Structure 1
């Protein structure tokens, strides 16, 4: 009886220590990056002051924020143009990547025949492909959309294909023993099993679609009121308007972070009730 009583407080202390460690980890996950970010911004400001760096070379953070506020109409209008290309290319990448992955899963011959072409598109720099797109495509929006789609397409295709081919063989044999057709096996077994892989590829493709849209705008050299953020960066660079250039860069970075967080939340909401990775996060 005494041994049991002595053991119980030790277990309770261990549980309390573990809970305290988890609580500190949760707090530190947000506090530490924010503290480092604040320190980096402070150092940026001090470097500008200590070295008396001109505004057209390296503006202070306050000047950048003021420019972001003053030029909000222009910059956010350009952001909407970039976001339109980003989300359209991501949507096309999802439709094309998942559709082609399903075909690959149904036929090894189709996968062996067409997957190398997808790899070629992925490894070829978009700046090398764009001159051909510029020759064959007349519409400016279609050019940008095609460039961004090429960048975002491969992660969806490769991850979903990997997920469809990673189903447990015993489960596949069980489906076949019970007389399931290939499409029933695909719908009820392979697609649910591939969902975590697809969502992982979607998070990667979300950032790549934004990068692809910005790079496409740089390569295309689009200008005018209907142009995206990349064109504002080019314009600000020509005019030595460093505050606007930095404001546009910060806007692009924040947009990429928001896209990643939203897609991560979508992934968690879909997987939280049944997949091991989301269950661990909740625990």
Structure 2
């Protein structure tokens, strides 16, 4: 009895070149940004040294990191305040945006009646709306939450509405031929089809909710121990405390990156087994 010898199939030159290119792109997607970041920080440090720039104008990176460590209790407590506003506004934007998009999908008359008001709310700068909010809302947290919600609400509403209205007409006709009710069509066809659009809007709204929370704190002028990172930035600017200002900015930037990465991971996990965009990423 003889055993068959299995020989590996050699790739043709074009396929081998494509595989090498994909491998290099995956490595470069991480290495190049990190390398540029390291070089940028080094140039920042050298610029401060070569030009003898005082730290109240442009602090060196090491001074900023030391300030971030020394002021960690104050900065991270303020970050927690900002994060609460961010995530609460995002949750409200999800509930309101998806709920209103479902109503729009069920009735064209409702969509035509109310969608223009959502557009007006989106295109009007929040700093112009805040004086009215300041008049009608007494609670400071509610003011900040409402401002951040206005910024984060529209991407979820518009993307989810687009997804619900982009269902294949042939599939809709098939559901109706089989006697499906309007809510069965919504639950089993329209909502799954709208999921990629909703997740795309969610990634946008996640960053906008953080921006809205910070901008709301700026225009509201909050202060005290229970204030957010925007107040720390304003306070540091008044005191010419540039190291703390840079430390607060770094915290905001890192928080925004983490929010985007988490929502991108969530989108990938939800879509990876069935949607073309996620399948292409895994190919």
Q: Map 1:176-215; keep pairs closer than 5 Å.
A: 176-215=176-215
Q: Deviations over 1:194-231 (max 9, x none)?
A: 00000000000000000000000000000000000000
Structure 2 residue aligned with 1:127:
127
Instruction: Verify: 1:281 aligned to 2:257, yes or no.
Output: no
Aligned mates of 2:276, 2:173 — CA distance in 1? 23
CA–CA distance in structure 2, aligned partners of residues 51 and 157 of structure 1: 50
Q: Distance in 1 between matches of 2:18 and 2:213?
A: 45
Structural mapping, 1:62-77, within 5 Å: 62-77=62-77
Q: Does 1:105 align with 2:105?
A: yes
Which residue is 2:148 aligned to?
Answer: 148
Where does residue 4 of structure 2 map in the other structure?
Answer: none
Inter-partner Cα distance in structure 1 for 2:210 and 2:98: 20
Q: Distance in 1 between matches of 2:57 and 2:136?
A: 40
Aligned to 1:51: 51
Q: What whole-Å deviation, never above 9, does each CA across 1:48-92 have from its counterpart, x for those lacking one?
A: 111111100000001000000000000000000000000000000
Matched, 1:247 2:239: no
SS class of match (1:187): helix
Q: Distance in 2 between matches of 1:127 and 1:15?
A: 55
Q: Which whole-Å deviations, capped at 9, do the CAs of 1:226-267 have from their partners, x for residues lacking one?
A: 000000000000000000000000000000000000000000
Aligned ranges 1:222-241 → 2 under 5 Å: 222-241=222-241
Mapped to 2, the partners of 1:133 and 1:12 lie a distance apart of 66
Compare 40-49 and 208-217 and name the one that shifted more. Answer: 40-49
Partner residue of 1:168? 168
Aligned to 2:259: 259
Question: For the residues of structure 1 that align with 2:18 and 2:168, how far apart are their CA atoms?
Answer: 35
Question: Aligned pairs, how many?
Answer: 276
Cα drift, residue 11 of structure 1: 4.5
TM-score w.r.t. length of structure 1: 0.96
* Distance in 1 between residues matched to 2:61 and 2:200, nearest whole Å: 34
